[in-house]
Chains A and B, each alone.
Chain A
Amino acid sequence: ILNVEQSPQSLHVQEGDSTNFTCSFPSSNFYALHWYRWETAKSPEALFVMTLNGDEKKKGRISATLNTKEGYSYLYIKGSQPEDSATYLCAFSGYSTLTFGKGTMLLVSP
């Protein structure tokens, strides 16, 4: 079973703070790295899928970068808002399987 690590495990920030999380994954047999946002009592929703080393993706105030050679990805949230409170999951994708990290739980206080 592949090892996909996310840090920190949880994070509590104030509204307006910028924050970032890390996802570490194996650098071999890499096909793609996924990021999902999972709100309480809902289902995970895709944020980004990245495949190329050096990829950067952005959606509103959220962005992500990818380094496949060293096996890590960063997710950034600029100017956090209370509605950003959720668990952020990354997933390492092989050809046909997906291995998720345990997630980073973000709480943004007003």
Chain B
Amino acid sequence: EAQVTQNPRYLITVTGKKLTVTCSQNMNHEYMSWYRQDPGLGLRQIYYSMNVEVTDKGDVPEGYKVSRKEKRNFPLILESPSPNQTSLYFCASSLFGRGLTYSNQPQHFGDGTRLSIL
């Protein structure tokens, strides 16, 4: 089954304790992205990757790191989590589209990770 898998689904942790949220897709998609969802703010893009070893900042990258060592995996790293990073996080992936752009391909989302940082 084609899917984007995030782990963990839920995590409660404390300020300053490094954590990693994993994301894996089995669709051979080039493009992967992380979003956070906060009440009243909508989905906001944190980081994205257009292919292996190619990553770039989205709208809200502060406090996050990513890596893309393999095509299928795109982990989100919080080196020193803070309470303002408490949120619902989604990973998504898509194909490289027609006209050499990623923009015209739909995003496939994972089930989400709810992080609470105390």
Contact = CB atoms under 8 A, between A and B. Distances in A.
A28 interface: no
B102 A51 contact: no
Interface in A45-89: 45-46, 49, 51, 89
Interface string B87-118: 00010000000000111111111111000000
Contacts, number: 65
Interface in B57-111: 58-59, 90, 101-111
Contact of B101 (A43, A45, A95): A95
Given A89-B42, A89-B43, A43 B109 contact: yes
A49 B104 contact: yes
Nearest to A1: B59
Which bucket holds chain B's interface residue count? Answer: 20 to 34
A1 B46 CA distance: 12
B107 A98 contact: yes
B103 A93 contact: yes
Interface residues of A, number: 25
Interface in B22-70: 31, 33, 35, 40-45, 48, 50, 56, 58-59
A12 to B, nearest CB: 19
B103 A94 contact: yes
B44 A100 contact: yes
Contact of B110 (A43, A45, A103): A43
Interface in A15-31: 31
Given A96-B102, A98-B107, A100-B42, 11 more contacts: A31-B104, A32-B103, A32-B104, A34-B107, A45-B109, A96-B31, A96-B103, A97-B58, A98-B33, A99-B45, A100-B43
Interface of B: 31, 33, 35, 40-45, 48, 50, 56, 58-59, 90, 101-112
